[in-house]
């Protein structure tokens, strides 16, 4: 009888902790979005775009870091990151390349049915043209702005804080889906005329689920960070070195979309199984 009362008392005390952790984590997410937008608006006329992107990513992550520090005693997964072997790092880099191929398949399949505005494509090309490096220092800051800063800061928010907190509250499946949905929100792109374009949201949602599963399976934030950085860096390098048509939208390629989806999915699935088998899996 005494054990049952103690168990019921622990469950009642656990409920407010879960509610508080969810509230604080969502508050950190909202505060990070506001801080990111404010930082971009405040610095864009003063600093180079590379620095603006880096500082805005840091602003996004800072509230999440503060909340993770507060919750670390209650949710150990927030600060336990086992190191990776050299082999696991290599596999994770290749996994990032597989994610990149899969993302191309998603975009190409989406393009068959829904095309983005031409102005959106031109704005995307203009962004990468602005970030095109011409010196060694330019390469360092461009890769930092496009790949390293987003991989570190966004992973701290979505797979470092939100995924463990959601998992602690509602289990792995809902945590993967919900954290991915919030990850998709930050990939809504604003146009110069004030309109919003949601073209990158489906890709970000799928990528967010894969990265969250990788985070849970490996009990570490390092694999999602490495895979995320590899994907972003690959995208940047391809855009820089491959000339895209300007002034018109290219024709859709459904067969290429199917091939990229199949190959990217197969390689990513195989690598995630290998990386999971090589690393520790956290208990629920």
pLDDT digits (tens, 9 = 90+) for 166-200: 999 999 999 999 999 999 999 999 888 888 899 99
What's the whole-number mean pLDDT along residues 100-108? 93
Task: Report yes or no on 34 lying in a domain.
Answer: no
Per-residue pLDDT band for 242 (boundaries 50, 70, 90) equals confident
Task: Report yes or no on 191 lying in a domain.
Answer: yes
How many residues would you count in the chain? 284
Lowest mean pLDDT among 58-72, 113-127, 207-221: 113-127
Supply 1's token pair.
């009888």
Q: What percent of the chain has pLDDT over 70?
A: 91
How far apart (Å, rounded) are the C-alpha atoms in residues 194 and 190? 6
Task: Report yes or no on 56 lying in a domain.
Answer: no
Instruction: Check: CB of residue 90 under 8 Å from CB of residue 167.
Output: no
Task: Report yes or no on 164 lying in a domain.
Answer: yes
Q: Domain range spanning residue 137? A: 83-278
Task: With a cut of 70, say whether residue 5 has pLDDT above it.
Answer: no
Task: Report yes or no on 99 lying in a domain.
Answer: yes
3-class DSSP state of 68: helix
Task: Report yes or no on 200 lying in a domain.
Answer: yes
Task: Report yes or no on 150 lying in a domain.
Answer: yes
Task: Report yes or no on 234 lying in a domain.
Answer: yes
Lowest mean pLDDT among 75-89, 219-233, 268-282: 268-282
Domain count for the chain: 1
pLDDT, tens digit, for every residue of 90-99?
999 999 999 9
Q: pLDDT value at position 277?
A: 60
Average pLDDT score over the chain = 88
Task: With a cut of 90, say whether residue 89 has pLDDT above it.
Answer: yes
The helix (H) or strand (E) run that includes residue 189 is: strand 189-190
Task: With a cut of 50, say whether residue 56 has pLDDT above it.
Answer: yes
């Amino acid at each position: 009888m005494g054990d049952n009362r103690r168990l019921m008392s622990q469950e009642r005390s656990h409920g407010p902790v879960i509610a508080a952790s969810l509230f604080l984590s969502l508050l950190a997410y909202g505060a990070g979005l506001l801080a990111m937008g404010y930082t971009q608006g405040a610095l864009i006329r003063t600093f180079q775009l590379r620095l603006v992107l880096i500082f805005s990513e840091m602003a996004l992550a800072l509230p999440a870091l503060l909340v993770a520090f507060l919750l670390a005693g209650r949710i150990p997964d927030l600060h336990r990151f086992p190191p990776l072997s050299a082999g696991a790092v290599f596999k994770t880099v290749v996994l990032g390349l597989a994610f990149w191929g899969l993302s191309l398949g998603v975009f190409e399949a989406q393009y068959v049915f829904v095309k983005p505005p031409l102005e959106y494509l031109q704005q995307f090309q203009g962004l990468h043209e602005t970030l095109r490096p011409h010196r060694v220092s330019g390469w360092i800051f461009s890769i930092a702005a496009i790949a390293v800063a987003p991989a570190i800061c966004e992973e701290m928010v979505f797979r470092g804080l939100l995924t463990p907190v959601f998992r602690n509250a509602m289990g792995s499946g809902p945590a993967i889906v919900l954290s991915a949905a919030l990850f998709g929100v930050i990939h809504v792109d604003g146009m110069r005329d004030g309109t919003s374009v949601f073209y990158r949201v489906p890709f970000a949602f799928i990528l967010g689920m894969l990265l969250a599963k990788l985070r849970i399976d490996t009990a570490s934030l390092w694999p999602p960070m490495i895979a995320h950085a590899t994907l972003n860096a690959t995208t940047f390098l391809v855009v820089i070195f491959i000339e895209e048509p300007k002034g018109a939208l290219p024709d859709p390629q459904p067969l290429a979309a199917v091939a990229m989806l199949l190959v990217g999915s197969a390689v990513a699935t195989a690598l995630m199984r290998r990386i999971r088998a090589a690393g520790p899996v956290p208990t629920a």
